[in-house]
Amino acid sequence: MTREEKELRRQERERRRAIENAAKEAGRGPLDVPFLLLTLLLTGVGLIMLFSASFPMAYYESGNPAYYLIRQGIFAALGIVAMLAIGRINYERYRVVGKYVLTLSIFLLIAVLIPGVGITRNNATRWLGFGGENGFQFQPSEIAKIGVILYFADSISKKKERMRTFRYGILPYAVILGIIAFLMYKEPHLSGTVLILGIGVVMMFVGGIRSIWVGAGLGVGAVGVWAYLTGKISYNSSRIAIWRDPLTNDPDLMRDAGYQIRQSLLAIGSGGLLGVGLGKSRQKFMYLPERHNDFIFSIICEELGLIGATLIMALFALLIIRGYWIALHARDRFGALLAVGVTTQVALQVFLNIAVVTNLIPNTGISLPFFSYGGTSLVIQLAEMALVLSVSRQMPPS
């Protein structure tokens, strides 16, 4: 190799290093277009289905059939703006805020349990807010998810080999997850508890904990599920009974605890292969409770049928696969763990919601991302997508 060729190669290496450093400092690489388009598509389809599912209730309550659509649309626009803005920020800057977000979320979870402070709905106290039923309300558990993702990603990315030890790789994270799980279980919010634990465990596994601890954790989780389903752990015995037999005999079928899941299954079965048509659901006319919230997937199945519901699940699957693909190609451990945490949250939340409405698991109350009504939740979800987009902007060029 001549001296000129060596010099040219040296200059090329320096040029690539300068490009990588510039991307690291400014975060000016290209956004991952497939992930962005899938997020926008799910948000748009979610607004359409929300309007279809909510207009009878909106007209009955306010006289305006587009009441819920307008409110959700405003938050969707704010969320998209926030997503594009946050996605342009170098994700390394989020390292320092993780512990503060996590600490804030724990204090808010404690505040929810204070009598007179938390807002109760359907025998569950999960909300904080002001302005009454139509005012500003949010679930501190949504902030807890972000706090766990940010803090775990920052802490685990710095430990590397120490993650294989119990003292550094298991104990501190188990304590944090235990505190949050206990506070959420007291609300009660079982599905949120499972979601937080799932996110934390997956991030610890990706971070490099020993396989024996993974096996032990799965064993404890299996025992917990068995104890819950067999009534050894009391959460809500009526929900377990209804899950086992949703058609249980009751003298007042319109008022008993199994009414909701029966109406959900009726909506899903009525949709058949092709559905009854967009906007033509019958169950949303005051039959199915929470039709525009936790049980919106039932309306999707009724109106769009098996094919339409499968296409929507395929969109979620593509978003999840793309999120993990970004994690695999992330520039560093922090970015990879950040993308894994957000993507795992979406994956678990979609699975839990669909499992509930199809009676695969007992009803625990969890929303469907991008579809269920809730402006604050939608903004937070889009902000989380921005974290993945920020990671995608600094992926090393192939």
> Which token pair is 168?
């550094």
> What is the average pLDDT across 188-199?
88
- pLDDT-based confidence at 192, cuts 50/70/90? confident
- Distance from C-alpha of 162 to C-alpha of 182, rounded to nearest angstrom: 27
- Distance from C-alpha of 386 to C-alpha of 87, rounded to nearest angstrom: 4
Taking CA atoms, 388 is separated from 36, 166, 223, 268, 372, in Å, by 10, 29, 34, 33, 22
Is it the case that residue 297 has pLDDT exceeding 90? yes
Cβ atoms within 10 Å, residue 58? 20
- Distance from C-alpha of 169 to C-alpha of 160, rounded to nearest angstrom: 9
- Distance from C-alpha of 138 to C-alpha of 126, rounded to nearest angstrom: 8
- Distance from C-alpha of 251 to C-alpha of 291, rounded to nearest angstrom: 24
Judge contact between 301 and 267, C-beta under 8 A. Answer: yes
- Distance from C-alpha of 299 to C-alpha of 91, rounded to nearest angstrom: 38
- Distance from C-alpha of 57 to C-alpha of 60, rounded to nearest angstrom: 5
pLDDT score of 371 = 97
Judge contact between 395 and 329, C-beta under 8 A. Answer: yes
Q: How crowded is the C-beta side of 173, counted as CA atoms within 13 Å?
A: 32
Listed by start position, the domains of the chain span 31-241+253-392
Is it the case that residue 253 has pLDDT exceeding 50? no
- More confident: 269 or 240: 269
Query: Which amino acid is present at 116?
Result: G
- Distance from C-alpha of 285 to C-alpha of 203, rounded to nearest angstrom: 42
pLDDT score of 254 = 43
Is it the case that residue 135 has pLDDT exceeding 90? no
Is it the case that residue 342 has pLDDT exceeding 90? yes
Q: What is the pLDDT of residues 201-210, one digit of tens each?
A: 999 999 989 8
Residues above pLDDT 70, as percent of the chain: 86
Cβ atoms within 10 Å, residue 304? 23
Judge contact between 331 and 299, C-beta under 8 A. Answer: no
Tell me phi and psi for residue 121, to 5 degrees. Answer: -140, 135
Mean pLDDT of the chain: 86
- Distance from C-alpha of 354 to C-alpha of 335, rounded to nearest angstrom: 29
- Distance from C-alpha of 255 to C-alpha of 284, rounded to nearest angstrom: 17
Query: Which amino acid is present at 317?
Result: A
- pLDDT-based confidence at 234, cuts 50/70/90? low
Cβ neighbours for 315, distance < 8 A, ≥ 6 positions apart: 38, 41, 42, 45
Mean pLDDT lowest among 3-17, 57-71, 275-289: 3-17
Residue 35's nearest CA partner among 336, 330, 372, 388 is 388
